[in-house]
Amino acid sequence: MALAAKPPLGWNTWNTFSHEINEDLIKESADAMVASGLKDAGYEYIVIDDCWSLRERDENGHLVPDPEKFPSGIKAVADYVHSKGLKFGIYSCVGTHTCAGYPGSYDYEFIDAETFAEWGVDYLKYDYCFKPRSADGPTLYRRMAMALRNCGRDILFSACNWGEDNTTEWIRSSGAHMYRSGSDILDSWQSIKTIAASQMDMEKFSGPYCHNDLDMLVVGMYGKSHNGTIAVNGGCTTEEYRTHFSLWAMMNSPLMIGCDIRNMTEETKDILMNKDILAINQDTEVRTPCWRKEWDAVPETVMLMFKPLENGDYAMGFFNFYDDDCGGRIHFADMGLPTHGYGLRLYDLWEHKDLGVFTDRYHVVLKGHHCKMLRASVVKL
């Protein structure tokens, strides 16, 4: 079965819970994904990140779930997640140890893949800490991909090597379904802006079955995290989270929620379950966007993205990276539209309303850190 034709959608424990995880949390989060409407919106993966195992393998070389955190075992937790109509994910690392110091999969790739298959794992996040300096990183990712593809179960492979070793040059050929090509995200506007800017030349390497992962979402965290390095000065504002979600959606990133989905605010739900924005991210063709900036703009003001959609429409996003109000415009000729005889009917994806037909260009003024997301349909005048 071909996996990840479109960017995967789900939830991951790390951003909010770090090492403080257990089977009750996973079950409650699976329940919340269904009850909140996230499942109906398209989110399907419940993923346990680092710190789920004991510090040592057993006598047969197998990973052992921490009996205090997961007394019923991982398979029982996976079965519960599956009973909710969801998919289950877990974490390991390319090196001798995970980033938090637990056993990694180096030289145990096939054993671990078989173990994950037996437990009912559907998704593997595979980190890059503690790789032996003598080992070739791309080869190790290919090895785990081979192990997963021959374990007897369909397991989505999420490669997380942060862009090391020129990731984009080889990752698609490795067999990974999604991959990190940048730094870890923090719950701050500066982090969101930095990651987005760093990926402006990277999205061209992304496509169906192998997606550029901008890292997990911080939408809805508002500074609440058991990991002190992720929570920064109380987190972001709701508008900054809206811009963050819009950027990730436009750039075809997998959308892996990082907040506590058991206790989401209404504003967080409105962002994460905006069907119009999700439709842009989940468009069948998964076309990469074209970037434009104001012709007279200084750096870090309003940037524009647009990309074609499967039905002939175009997605358009204006993003103000600056702290003050700034204007942005798009000349439709830059998108390919003739200068006469045609126009674009614009629909606002956050306000959910038709803005009418525009010819020649569209101009918007945005408050600092705000965005405008539009769907454009070509009309003959």
Q: Which residues are catalytic?
A: 127, 184
d(CA 163, CA 147): 22
What letter would DSSP give residue 286? -
If you search the block for the tokens 């009750």, which residue do you land on? 24
Q: What are phi and psi of 203, to 5 degrees?
A: -65, -20
Beta bridge pairs of residue 316:
306, 374
d(CA 97, CA 92): 9
The candidate with the shortest Cα–Cα distance to 74, out of 92, 100, 59, 98, is 92
Structure tokens at 250: 């436009």
Count the helix, strand and coil residues of the chain and give each as a percent rounded to the nearest 5. 30, 25, 45
**DSSP secondary structure of 56-107:** S--TTS---B-TTT-TT-HHHHHHHHHHTT-EEEEEEESSSB-TTSSB--TT
Helix residue ranges per DSSP H, the chain:
14-17, 23-35, 38-41, 74-83, 109-119, 137-149, 171-174, 189-198, 238-250, 266-272, 275-281
With contact defined as beta carbons under 8 Å apart, do 259 and 268 qualify? Answer: yes
Structure tokens at 373: 């997301």
Structure tokens at 61: 């070389």
Q: Count the neighbouring beta carbons within 10 Å of the beta carbon of residue 201.
A: 10
